[in-house]
A and B are shown apart, each in its own frame.
Chain A
Amino acid sequence: MISPMQKFRESEVYKSIFRHKYDDTQRNRALQIVDNVFLHLHPVRIPRHATNVGFTWGMGGITFLLFLILTLTGVILMFYYRPTAQYAYEDMKYLMNDVAFGPFVRNMHRWAAHLMVITVMLHMFRVFLTGSYKPPRQFNWVIGVILLVLTFLLSFTGYLLPWDQLSIWAVTVGTNMARATPLLGHDGPFGLELGMKIDNDIRFVLLGGTQVGPPTLLRFYVGHCIFLPLIASIFMVVHFWRIRKDGGISGPDTTKKTF
């Protein structure tokens, strides 16, 4: 008598999805990683210290997880949000008061974003302390720095979207630094000499106007929801790919007795 489960396991449908058996053998464990598009980011075998949370702190992985959470919750929030000065704030009120699980999803998006900034910093801290940027991983550190900047930019652009007092003034203070950019800002050193005015300098590109207003909201929205996540994803792909190509997670070089 074979159980229905066993029968299902031997059916054509099951076999077409899972291309290997689940018996606990070395081969099946390897296939579990190699045959799975999501898991094949990993190598099949890694040194034991790489699974030790005390060594890695898991911060890079948590950062990626938070990015996924933010993508998911962000997409849900987009259903209830219109990026115009007229509606943005009302939509926030609507979301917080009249949408089931609206506050929960928004809170999760907000707190995951804060957490991601922290984990990115701690990940960088750990990578520095274990010297993991040293050859051959120099370039991956550079990509990591770019991802750090992108994380800040993502968080900063998202800050404006609720269109409340907190967001508009944080962004006013933040973008006003751009007006003082040397050469490219109308208030910066040598800006006036190069013909920079309030309506043609670098700050204008960010704001889409001469002050934080409706065009700014739209620009930040598009940047926050499409442009920056896209760029960040590309850099993340390279970041993860380079971990594998640079010899996996860093560890002491035991082939040489230099300690």
Chain B
Amino acid sequence: MTTENNPQTNNPSPQITPTPLPRKAKQDRAPENDPGLWRMGRKSFFSFSAWLAFFGFIGISTIGSLRMMFPRILFEPSKKFKVGLPEEFLIGEVSEKFIDKGVWIIREQGGFYALIAICTHLGCAPRWLPTENKFKCACHGSGYYKNGINFEGPTPRPLERAAIGLADNGELEVDLSLKFKYELGDWVKEDSFYNYVA
């Protein structure tokens, strides 16, 4: 980048600076009568309040419109559902029976956990590839082991677990609204794993 002229001199429409009108000098008060920070006349107080009201109105209207974007009630499928009796699952199997609800049920030697089928990279739905023994996301190629820990691709963290437990009728119950993140140490918490030995 080389420059020879000042850009200002090259400006086809130079700025016109008008000479300011002379202002009436404010009367200074004697120091003992000076209100200091509160030096504000009656008129400027009214002016200040009016502007405050004006911008206050605009500000509150904006906040109100934003709040309107968050409805109080959502009509979305229930986050809590039963998935069947524990005996219906095989040890070592990744059950895709409830993939429509966005969850895999996995039974290990010691019990059950439910992995949420949302890629932690950008929210695509990964697939379970039994032959390669991993979850693989189609969007950007993130890969996870069977336990949900990420090992390849761009994803920054492991899959999330949903809460799993036993319902009153003896069936397993998954609650998608309760999530457990590995990197926060949640996977040792209650409900992130359901202990079950047949």
Contacts and interface: CB of A to CB of B under 8 A. Distances in A.
Interface stretch (B5-13, B37-45, B89-97): B5-13
A204 B123 contact: no
A135 B76 contact: no
Given A169-B124, A208-B69, A211-B76, 15 more contacts: A134-B7, A135-B10, A136-B11, A136-B13, A172-B124, A173-B123, A176-B122, A204-B70, A209-B76, A210-B74, A214-B75, A247-B13, A253-B10, A256-B10, A258-B10
Nearest to B184: A192
Interface residues of A, number: 25
Contacts of A200: 70
Interface secondary structure of B, over-half rule:
loop
17 contacts: A136-B11, A136-B13, A172-B122, A172-B123, A173-B124, A177-B122, A199-B70, A200-B70, A204-B70, A205-B69, A208-B71, A209-B74, A214-B75, A215-B74, A247-B12, A253-B12, A258-B10
B83 to A, nearest CB: 20
A123 interface: no
Contact of B5 (A176, A177, A258): A258
Contacts of A211: 76
Interface string A247-259: 1000001001010
Contacts, number: 48
For this complex, into which size category does the number of interface residues on chain B fall?
Answer: 10 to 19
Contacts of B85: none
A211 B116 CA distance: 14
Contacts of B10: 135, 253, 256, 258
Contacts of A258: 4-5, 10
Give the 7 A-B CB pairs with smallest separation, nearest first. Answer: A176-B123, A176-B122, A205-B69, A135-B11, A173-B122, A136-B13, A209-B74
B53 interface: no
Interface in B116-148: 120, 122-124, 139
Nearest to A205: B69
A179 interface: yes
A68 to B, nearest CB: 30
Contacts of A176: 122-123
